Structure 1
Amino acid sequence: MIDTRMIGDVRVTRIHEYSGPTHDPKFLLPDLSQELLESNREWMSPHHWIPLMNKLILTVQLWVVHAGSNIIVVDTGVGNRKPREGMARMHNLNSLVLEWLEAAGAPPDKVTHVALTHLHMDHVGWNTRWLDGRWTPTFPNARYYLPQDDFLFCESGRNKQEGLDVFGASFEDSVMPIVDAGMSVMLKPGMEIGDCLQVEDARGHSPGQVAFRIRSRGEEAIFSGDICHNPIQIVHPEINSGYCIWPDQARKTRMEFLASSADRETLVLPVHFGNPYAGFVRREGAGFRFEPLLW
Structure 2
Amino acid sequence: MTTFDTFFVGDARIIKVPELALDTVDIAQLFPEGDLQALSKDATHWGEQSFDFERGLLRQSIHAWVVQTPTHTVLIDTATGNDKQRPTAPLFHQLEEPFLERLQAVGVSPDSVDLVLLTHLHADHVGWNTKLQGERWAPTFPNAHYIFSEREYAYNLALSHERTAVESIQRQAGIGTPRHEPLDGVFEDSIMPIVEADQDQRIVIDNTEIEGFFFHSTPGHSIDHASISLTSRGETALFWGDIMHHPLQFRQPEINSIYCEFPQAAQQSRHKAMHLASVLDALVFTTHFGDSSVGKVSRHAHGFDWQFIQGVRL
Same fold by TM-score greater than 0.5:
yes
The residue type paired with residue 209 of structure 2 is: E
Which residue is 1:30 aligned to? 32
Q: Is the CA contact (8 Å cut-off) linking 1:234 and 1:281 kept in structure 2?
A: no
Q: 1:83 to 1:245 in 2, by over 3 A?
A: same
Matches for 1:186-225 after TM superposition, within 5 Å? 186-189=202-205, 190-193=207-210, 195-225=211-241
Long gaps (5+) in structure 1 = none
Which residue is 2:307 aligned to? 291
Q: 1:178 to 1:158 in 2, by over 3 A?
A: closer
Which residue is 1:141 aligned to? 143
The residue type paired with residue 291 of structure 1 is: Q
Long gaps (5+) in structure 2 = 167-177
Pairwise CA RMSD? 2.0
Offset at 1:71?
0.8
Which residue is 1:103 aligned to? 105
Distance in 1 (CA, whole Å) between partners of 2:30 and 2:263 is: 14
Offset at 1:201?
0.4
Q: 1:41 to 1:140 in 2, by over 3 A?
A: closer
The residue type paired with residue 197 of structure 2 is: A
Q: 1:232 to 1:41 in 2, by over 3 A?
A: closer
Q: Which runs of 4+ in 1 moved over 6 A?
A: 158-163
SS state at 1:65 partner: strand
Which residue is 1:59 aligned to? 61
Distance in 2 (CA, whole Å) between partners of 1:251 and 1:8 is: 31
Distance in 2 (CA, whole Å) between partners of 1:125 and 1:28 is: 21
Matches for 1:227-238 after TM superposition, within 5 Å? 227-238=243-254
The residue type paired with residue 144 of structure 1 is: Y
SS state at 2:276 partner: helix
Which residue is 1:259 aligned to? 275
2:84 paired residue among 63, 67, 82: 82
TM-score by length of 2: 0.88
Distance in 1 (CA, whole Å) between partners of 2:302 and 2:154 is: 38
Offset at 1:62?
0.3
- Deviation string, structure 1 residues 128-165 (Cα, Å, up to 9, x no partner): 00113211100001111122111111111179999646
Which residue is 2:174 aligned to? none
SS state at 2:19 partner: strand
The residue type paired with residue 272 of structure 2 is: E
Percent of aligned pairs with the same amino acid? 34
The residue type paired with residue 310 of structure 2 is: L
SS state at 1:157 partner: helix
Offset at 1:82?
1.2
Which residue is 1:93 aligned to? 95
Offset at 1:166?
4.0
